[in-house]
């Protein structure tokens, strides 16, 4: 976990901290949140041109388990997750593995 | 054939139990369970019958795969005319009761008439007798179960029963089997209680030796189980988090009805979610969730077994509730939580225990409490009505108090037992009833999930998510993702879900298998077990036939196209937050196309062409 934290800092230093978003990981992905997360959420710093897959990879979420990927509650399809700059300051990025109920 | 080809007819007025041959022509057209029992209901019960009169009938029906080792092959349904909606009622349950019925040699049991005094039906294989239930009447399901077990003296007996709420006329009374599984919706338990029928106890030792092609059947069952095990939802998600994993999902997409559907996101959702059920609590370090559980022959095991914090106000002086029992499922958690504004997971679990113990549908109960809270807020319901209890949104005390009152049919609990529509009419605000055809909504706001608006409006049993679960596509991406905020294309989606679900509900299998299975996985299992060349196309045809049969019954009962609507709130008041902010449900755009796809008239009636196509009774 400590190594991951340092790597994250280095990455941020490299790309430059541009803005802060809230990352939420749920269900079986909950354990991938870094320490300090509460109620399945943590605020993270990201570059303005970050892609969703870069964030997914940074937190070691297996891409095949990043099934429901929502920005402010709106679904982002798999083919759009390499597009740079989908987020703006204050956005909420929430990710679930395949889930269902009813 | 996995049918036993036998049904048991119980005339409660005469006190007789008679064996009959199952109508196999109908089985070929309607498969079993929901479809076949509805065919019997349509044949034998006038659509205009008084639901709580002796001329209504109550049918407990299995599907052809009930009692087999097909995964989830333990389902049964309870069919009758509903006292809540006056429409056809079909409520589906798991547990072990349905499989036991099949093991005793019966495909279904039809109850007719009314007993002069409380009775229970005791079935042991081919022997069926009616016995006095005088000593169980007035007892909760959990209390009466103990009494009945001292009588039958066989620990493997499976029991379905009604609680005190149904006895007292609560219109959303459930039939509870195996203590905490339930045929919950539409008041089927209230009909059972109206017949003075307290319980059905079954012991079956005959097994099921009627599979058409046993070798092929085992091959198809094995293949089906492998699909379920390898699927991320049925293999991991549902066993670990249960249906409650949806709480945070639906809140995030802005479709979590909150405080009687005034809002679409609940600030306390995370506190009552599937994830929260895993969190250790402060008092004893144990989580709400003890373990998961499975129904008969199920390899998914989505069931929740929970405990309540012993220091919680609801149970601190009631050690009888310091037990492991049926925990929160998503729909129940929503109705008891976000819809009432309560974020206390122990209060929700306690109310859920009481719904199981005394047989109330937790969706209708919670939604009715939510309506009562809004009526209280408006001053239409006052402390004088409640005996001093402040029915405020967010009050865990009020929720627990309401559950206790409805369970026993005491005081204001009688009013709450009317359901939201009748309650709101009684107190002068019918517009606050969040219902379709008199049945309360489940946990998806149709402003944020457009297809669900059409699914609710056209559901044959009133507002219901299990008649066409378009959430699966619109939110969860199964089988493919569609945009929940768009109404275009949803008419076809709803029809497809309705027809496929009707077929699955008639098979003896659980609809949750369809998160992994398609009809291509299900049809071979039925075809190898049953006579009749059961292809996926035939299943869809049977599903569409069932849907039209139910619709036709409803129209004849006076539940016509004018009632294919939604509460004004959902059609005129935009969502207050989230992705659907300022949107309403676009039912007016979807409904005409839906009627067209169904081949119905512009007012939603089944045409003679459709009647002929599906060989429907006149």
Domains of chain B: 6-203 (3.60.9.10), 258-433 (1.10.569.10), 440-613 (1.10.599.10)
Q: Does B97 reach chain A within 8 Å, measured CB to CB?
A: no
Closest CA in chain A for residue B332 = A102
By the CB < 8 Å criterion, does B476 face chain A? yes
Judging contacts by C-beta atoms under 8 Å, the chain A residues touching residue B469 are 102
Residues in A lying within 8 Å of B, measured between beta carbons: 24, 26-28, 30, 39-40, 65, 67-68, 70, 72-75, 77, 92, 94, 96-102
Average confidence (pLDDT) over B153-168 = 97
Q: From the CA of B482, how many Å to the nearest CA of chain A?
A: 10
User: For residue A6, is pLDDT > 90?
Assistant: no
Q: What CATH number corresponds to the domain at position A8?
A: 3.10.20.30
User: In three state form, how does the secondary structure of B225-269 look?
Assistant: HHHHHHCHHHHHHHHHHCHHHHHHHHHHCCCCCECCCCECCCCCH
What is the band of B209 on the pLDDT scale with cuts at 50, 70, 90?
confident
Q: How confident is the model at residue A85 (pLDDT cuts 50, 70, 90)?
A: very high
Report CA-CA distances (Å) from B80 to B84, B160, B443, B475, B599. 11, 16, 25, 32, 26
Identity of the residue in B232, B252, B254 whose CB atom sits nearest the CB atom of A97? B232
- Average pLDDT, stretch A62-76? 97
Three-state DSSP at B59 gives strand
Residues of A in contact with B238 (CB under 8 A): 100-101
Q: Does B199 touch chain A (CB under 8 A)?
A: no
Per-residue confidence (pLDDT) for residue A15, from 0 to 100:
52
A chain contacts of residue B330, beta-carbon cutoff 8 Å = 101-102
Residue-level pLDDT at A3: 44
**Do the bridges between strand B197-203 and strand B119-124 make them parallel or antiparallel, or are there none, so unpaired?**
parallel
Confidence of residue B1 (pLDDT cuts 50, 70, 90): low
Q: Is the pLDDT of residue B39 over 60?
A: yes
* Domain membership flag for residue A102: no
Q: Which of B95-99, B209-213, B522-526 has the lowest mean pLDDT?
A: B209-213
pLDDT at A2 over 90: no
Token pair for B414: 């009688």
* pLDDT, tens only, B423-461: 999 999 999 999 999 999 999 999 999 999 999 999 999
Chain B residue numbers touching A97 (CB-CB < 8 A):
232, 236-237
From the list B253, B330, B477, the residue facing A102 with the nearest CB is: B330
Task: Indicate whether A45 belongs to any domain.
Answer: yes
CA B473 vs CA A36, A99, B514, B515, B592: distances in Å: 34, 12, 12, 10, 22
**Complete edge-to-edge strand list for the sheet that includes strand B6-11:** B16-21, B6-11, B108-112, B58-62, B76-81, B88-93
Q: Which residues of B touch A101 (CB under 8 A)?
A: 238, 242-246, 302, 329-330
The pLDDT of residue B118 is 98
Q: Count of domains in chain A?
A: 1
Contacts of B243 in chain A (CB under 8 A): 100-102
Nearest to B275 among A30, A73, A94 (CB): A30
pLDDT value at A17 more than 50 = yes
Q: How far is B244 from chain A, CA to nearest CA, in Å?
A: 7
CB B74 within 8 A of CB B11: no
- Closest Cα partner for B163 from B179, B185, B152? B179
pLDDT of B18: 98
> Which of B330, B483, B579 is nearest residue A101 as measured by Cβ atoms?
B330
Is residue A38 a part of any domain in this protein? Answer: yes
Q: Does B274 touch chain A (CB under 8 A)?
A: yes
User: Mutate which of B230, B363, B477, B577 to test chain A, going by most A C-beta atoms within 10 A?
Assistant: B477
Structure confidence by residue, pLDDT tens digits, B385-402: 999 999 999 999 999 999
pLDDT at residue A9 above 80? Answer: no
pLDDT tops 50 at residue B73: yes
The burial of B414, by beta-carbon neighbours within 10 Å (0-12 exposed, 13-18 middle, 19 or more buried), is given as middle
Residue from B94, B244, B250, B252 to probe the interface with A (highest A Cβ count within 10 Å): B252
Q: How many CA atoms lie within 13 A of B440 on its CB side?
A: 39
Contact B22, B37 (CB under 8 A): no
What percent of chain B has a predicted confidence (pLDDT) above 70?
A: 100
Task: Tell me what the pLDDT averaged over chain B comes to.
Answer: 97
Q: Is the CB of B481 inside 8 Å of chain A's CB atoms?
A: yes
Q: How many beta-carbon pairs under 8 angstroms link A with B?
A: 97
Residue A25 is part of which domain span?
Answer: 2-96
Across the range B547-573, mean pLDDT stands at 98
Residue A78 lies in a domain: yes
Measured at the CA of B185, the angle between CA B478 and CA B144, to 5 degrees, comes to 125
User: Cβ distance B254 to B448 under 8 Å?
Assistant: yes
Does the residue A84 lie in any domain?
yes
Query: What's the ipTM?
Result: 0.94
pLDDT tens-digit map of B45-55: 999 999 999 99
Predicted local confidence at residue A5, as pLDDT: 47
Percent of chain B with pLDDT over 90: 99
B359 touches chain A (CB under 8 A): no
Task: Determine the average pLDDT of the residues in B86-108.
Answer: 98
Whether residue B466 lies within 8 A of chain A, CB to CB, comes out as: yes
Give B154→chain A minimum CA distance, Å: 34
Rounded distance, CA B154 to CA B161, Å?
17
Where does residue B1 rank: exposed (0-12), middle (13-18), buried (19+ CB within 10 A)? middle
Q: What is the pTM of this model?
A: 0.96
Q: Is residue A72 part of a domain?
A: yes
Element (H, E) at B193: helix B188-194
Question: Is residue A101 assigned to a domain?
Answer: no
d(CA B24, CA B31): 9
Q: For residue A10, name the pLDDT band (cuts at 50, 70, 90).
A: low
The partner residue sitting opposite B252, judged by closest CB among A65, A67, A94, is A94
Cα(B563)–Cα(B261) distance, integer angstroms: 20
Average pLDDT for B213-236: 97
Decide if A28 and B254 are in contact by the 8 Å CB cutoff.
no
Q: How far apart are CA B133 and CA B10, in angstroms?
A: 16
Starting at the edge strand that comes first in sequence, how are the strands of the sheet with A92-96 ordered? A41-46, A19-25, A92-96, A68-71, A74-75
Specify if A67 maps to a domain.
Answer: yes
Q: What is the mean pLDDT of chain A?
A: 88
Shortest Cα distance, chain A CAs vs residue B270, angstroms:
7
């Amino acid at each position: 976990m400590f190594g991951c934290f340092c790597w994250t800092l280095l990455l941020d230093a490299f790309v430059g901290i541009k803005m802060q978003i809230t990352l939420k990981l749920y269900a079986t992905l909950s354990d991938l949140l870094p320490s300090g997360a509460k109620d399945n959420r943590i605020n993270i710093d990201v570059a303005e041109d970050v892609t969703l897959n870069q964030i997914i990879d940074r937190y070691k979420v297996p891409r095949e388990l990043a099934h429901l990927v929502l920005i402010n509650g709106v679904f982002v399809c798999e083919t759009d997750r390499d597009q740079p700059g989908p987020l703006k300051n204050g956005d909420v990025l929430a990710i679930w593995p395949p889930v269902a109920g009813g | 054939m996995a049918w036993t080809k036998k049904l048991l007819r119980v005339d409660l007025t005469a006190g007789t139990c008679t064996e009959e041959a199952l109508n196999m022509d109908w089985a070929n057209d309607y498969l079993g369970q929901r479809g076949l029992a509805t065919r019997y209901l349509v044949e034998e019960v006038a659509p205009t019958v008084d639901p709580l009169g002796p001329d209504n009938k109550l049918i407990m029906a299995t599907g052809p795969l009930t009692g087999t080792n097909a995964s989830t092959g333990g389902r049964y349904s309870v069919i009758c005319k509903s006292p809540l909606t006056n429409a056809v009622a079909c409520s589906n349950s798991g547990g072990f009761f349905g499989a036991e019925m099949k093991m005793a040699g019966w495909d279904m049991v039809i109850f007719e008439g009314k007993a002069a005094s409380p009775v229970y039906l005791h079935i042991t294989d081919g022997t069926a007798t009616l016995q006095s239930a005088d000593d169980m009447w007035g007892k909760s399901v959990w209390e009466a179960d103990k009494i009945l077990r001292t009588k039958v003296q066989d620990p493997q007996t499976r029991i379905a029963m009604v609680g005190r709420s149904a006895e007292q006329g609560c219109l959303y009374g459930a039939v509870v089997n195996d203590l905490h599984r339930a045929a919950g919706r539409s008041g089927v338990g209230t009909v059972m209680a109206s017949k003075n029928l307290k319980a059905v106890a079954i012991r079956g030792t005959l097994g099921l030796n009627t599979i058409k092609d046993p070798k092929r059947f085992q091959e198809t069952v094995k293949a089906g189980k492998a699909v379920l095990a390898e699927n991320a939802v049925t293999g991991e998600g549902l066993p670990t988090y249960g249906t409650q994993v949806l709480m945070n999902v639906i809140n995030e997409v802005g479709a979590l009805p909150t405080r009687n559907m005034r809002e679409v996101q609940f600030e306390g959702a995370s506190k009552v979610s599937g994830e929260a059920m895993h969190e250790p609590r402060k008092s004893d370090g144990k989580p709400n969730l003890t373990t998961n559980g499975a129904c008969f022959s199920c390899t998914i095991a989505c069931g929740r077994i929970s405990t309540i914090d012993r220091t919680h106000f609801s149970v601190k002086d009631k050690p009888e509730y310091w037990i492991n029992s049926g925990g929160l499922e998503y729909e129940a958690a929503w109705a008891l939580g976000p819809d009432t504004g309560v974020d206390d997971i122990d209060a929700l679990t306690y109310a859920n225990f009481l719904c199981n113990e005394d047989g109330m549908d937790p969706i209708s109960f919670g939604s009715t409490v939510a309506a009562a809270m809004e009526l209280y807020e408006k001053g239409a319901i006052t402390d004088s009505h409640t005996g001093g209890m402040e029915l405020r949104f967010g009050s865990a005390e009020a929720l627990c108090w309401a559950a206790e009152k409805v369970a026993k049919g005491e005081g204001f609990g009688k009013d709450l037992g009317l359901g939201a529509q009748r309650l709101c009419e009684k107190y002068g605000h019918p517009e606050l009833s969040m219902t379709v055809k008199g049945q309360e909504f489940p946990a998806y706001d149709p402003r944020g999930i457009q297809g669900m608006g059409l699914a609710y409006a056209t559901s044959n049993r009133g507002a219901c998510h299990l008649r066409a679960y378009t959430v699966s596509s619109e939110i969860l991406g199964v089988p493919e993702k569609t945009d929940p905020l768009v109404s275009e294309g949803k008419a076809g989606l709803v029809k497809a879900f309705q027809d496929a679900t009707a077929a699955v509900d008639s098979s003896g299998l659980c609809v949750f298998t369809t998160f992994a299975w398609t009809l291509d996985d299900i049809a071979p299992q039925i075809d190898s077990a049953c006579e009749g060349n059961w292809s996926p196309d035939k299943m869809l045809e049977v599903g569409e036939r069932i849907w039209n049969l139910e619709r036709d019954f409803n129209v004849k009962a006076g539940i016509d196209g004018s009632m294919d609507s939604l509460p004004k709130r959902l059609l005129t008041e935009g969502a207050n937050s989230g992705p659907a902010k300022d949107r309403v449900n676009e039912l007016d755009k979807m409904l005409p196309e839906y009627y067209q796809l169904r081949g119905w008239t512009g007012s939603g009636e089944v045409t003679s062409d459709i009647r002929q196509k599906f060989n429907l009774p006149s």
